Chains A and B, each alone.
Chain A
Amino acid sequence: MGMYRLGDMIRMTRKSLSITQEQLCDGICSIETLSRIETGRQSPSRDTYELLMERMGRIRERAYSMLSVSDFKVLEKMKLFEDYIKLYDYHRAETVLNKIKKTLGNTVLDRQFILRAESIINYRLNRITVDKFLEGLQNAICLTIPEYGTISLSCWPLNINETRLLINISTAYAEKKEYDKGIYILEEVNNAMEQSYMDEQQRVDLQVIIINNLSKWYGLTGNYEKAIRISKDGVAICKKYKLGNVLPILLYNITWNMEQLIHKGVLPAVYKKECLKYLRQAYYIASAMQQPFTEQFIEKHVNTIYNNSFETFEIQ
Chain B
Amino acid sequence: MISQAIEIENNKIGAAIQYFRETYQVSQSRLCKGLCSIATLSRIESGERDADSLLLETLLERLGKTPNQFELILTDSDYEAYQKREEIKHLIENKNLEEAGKLLAAYEKTAPSKGNVHKQFIVRSKALLNELQGGEVEVTLDLLMEAIAYTVPGFKTNKIREYYLSNSELNILIDIIERMILMGDNSRAKELIGQILDYLDKHNSMEKNNRLYPKVAILACKLYMQDKEYEKALDLCNKGLNSTKGSRKLDFLGDLYLMKAQTTEALQKQKKERKPQECTKLFLQAFYVFTFCDENEIAENIKKYLQEEYQWECIDWVI
Name the A residues within 8 Å of B293 (CB-CB).
Answer: 239, 242
Determine whether A66 belongs to the interface, using a CB cutoff of 8 Å to chain B. yes
Interface residues of A in 137-157 (CB under 8 A from B): none
Chain B interface size range = 35 or more
Name the A residues within 8 Å of B76 (CB-CB).
Answer: 5, 40-41, 43
| Cα distance A5–B2 in the bound complex, in angstroms | 12
- 8 additional A-B pairs beyond A44-B5, A67-B70, A288-B288, beta carbons within 8 Å, are A1-B71, A42-B1, A43-B76, A45-B4, A66-B71, A241-B249, A247-B250, A285-B250
Q: In the complex, what's the smallest C-beta–C-beta distance from B94 to chain A, in angstroms?
A: 16
Name the A residues within 8 Å of B15 (CB-CB).
Answer: 72
Q: Which of A66, A199, A284 has the most CB of B within 10 A?
A: A284
| Cα distance A64–B73 in the bound complex, in angstroms | 9
Q: In the complex, what's the smallest C-beta–C-beta distance from A278 to chain B, in angstroms?
A: 6
Q: In the complex, what's the smallest C-beta–C-beta distance from A236 to chain B, in angstroms?
A: 8
Selected A-B contacts with CB under 8 Å, 5 pairs: A49-B5, A64-B8, A68-B71, A281-B291, A288-B257
Determine whether B72 belongs to the interface, using a CB cutoff of 8 Å to chain A. yes
Contact residue among A45, A68, A202, A284 (Cβ-Cβ distance under 8 Å from B288): A284
Determine whether A176 belongs to the interface, using a CB cutoff of 8 Å to chain B. no
**B residues apposed to A, CB below 8 Å:** 1-6, 8-9, 12, 15-16, 19, 53, 57, 66-76, 79, 82, 241, 244-251, 253, 257, 277, 281, 284-289, 291-294, 314, 316-319
Q: In the complex, what's the smallest C-beta–C-beta distance from A203 to chain B, in angstroms?
A: 12
Name the A residues within 8 Å of B57 (CB-CB).
Answer: 1
Q: A4-B71, A45-B4 are in contact. Are A288 and B253 (CB under 8 A)?
A: yes
Interface residues of A in 289-305 (CB under 8 A from B): 289-290
Residue of A nearest to B13 (CB): A72
Main secondary structure of the interface of B (DSSP, over half): helix
| Cα distance A251–B67 in the bound complex, in angstroms | 33
Q: In the complex, what's the smallest C-beta–C-beta distance from A139 to chain B, in angstroms?
A: 26
Inter-chain contact A251/B73, CB cutoff 8 Å: no
Determine whether A88 belongs to the interface, using a CB cutoff of 8 Å to chain B. no
Number of A-B residue pairs, CB cutoff 8 Å, is 143
Q: A1-B67, A242-B249 are in contact. Are A6 and B317 (CB under 8 A)?
A: no
Inter-chain contact B75/A43, CB cutoff 8 Å: yes
Inter-chain contact A243/B248, CB cutoff 8 Å: yes
Q: In the complex, what's the smallest C-beta–C-beta distance from B294 to chain A, in angstroms?
A: 7
Determine whether A75 belongs to the interface, using a CB cutoff of 8 Å to chain B. yes
| Cα distance A3–B314 in the bound complex, in angstroms | 48
Name the B residues within 8 Å of A45 (CB-CB).
Answer: 3-4
Inter-chain contact A66/B316, CB cutoff 8 Å: no
| Cα distance A163–B313 in the bound complex, in angstroms | 45
Name the B residues within 8 Å of A289 (CB-CB).
Answer: 250, 253
Q: Which of A274, A290, A315 has the most CB of B within 10 A?
A: A290
Closest 4 CB pairs of A and B: A2-B71, A284-B288, A244-B250, A43-B3
**A residues apposed to B, CB below 8 Å:** 1-6, 40-46, 49, 64-68, 72-73, 75, 199, 201-202, 205, 232, 235, 238-239, 241-245, 247, 251, 274, 277-278, 280-281, 284-285, 287-290, 311, 313-315
Inter-chain contact B69/A68, CB cutoff 8 Å: yes
Inter-chain contact B314/A313, CB cutoff 8 Å: yes
Contact residue among A42, A247, A290, A314 (Cβ-Cβ distance under 8 Å from B292): A247
Q: A205-B248, A284-B288 are in contact. Are A3 and B9 (CB under 8 A)?
A: no
Inter-chain contact A290/B241, CB cutoff 8 Å: yes
Q: Which of A41, A75, A313 has the most CB of B within 10 A?
A: A75
Inter-chain contact A3/B253, CB cutoff 8 Å: no
| Cα distance A171–B244 in the bound complex, in angstroms | 29
Contact residue among B69, B73, B244, B250 (Cβ-Cβ distance under 8 Å from A5): B73
| Cα distance A73–B19 in the bound complex, in angstroms | 7
Q: In the complex, what's the smallest C-beta–C-beta distance from B250 to chain A, in angstroms?
A: 4
Inter-chain contact A290/B75, CB cutoff 8 Å: no
Name the A residues within 8 Å of B317 (CB-CB).
Answer: 277, 280-281
Inter-chain contact A314/B314, CB cutoff 8 Å: yes
Q: A75-B69, A202-B68 are in contact. Are A284 and B249 (CB under 8 A)?
A: no
Inter-chain contact A285/B292, CB cutoff 8 Å: yes
Inter-chain contact A3/B12, CB cutoff 8 Å: no
Contact residue among B72, B75, B257, B319 (Cβ-Cβ distance under 8 Å from A281): B319
Q: Which of B4, B5, B16 has the most CB of A within 10 A?
A: B5
Q: In the complex, what's the smallest C-beta–C-beta distance from B230 to chain A, in angstroms?
A: 21
Name the B residues within 8 Å of A232 (CB-CB).
Answer: 319
Residue of A nearest to B248 (CB): A245
Contact residue among B68, B82, B286, B316 (Cβ-Cβ distance under 8 Å from A280): B316
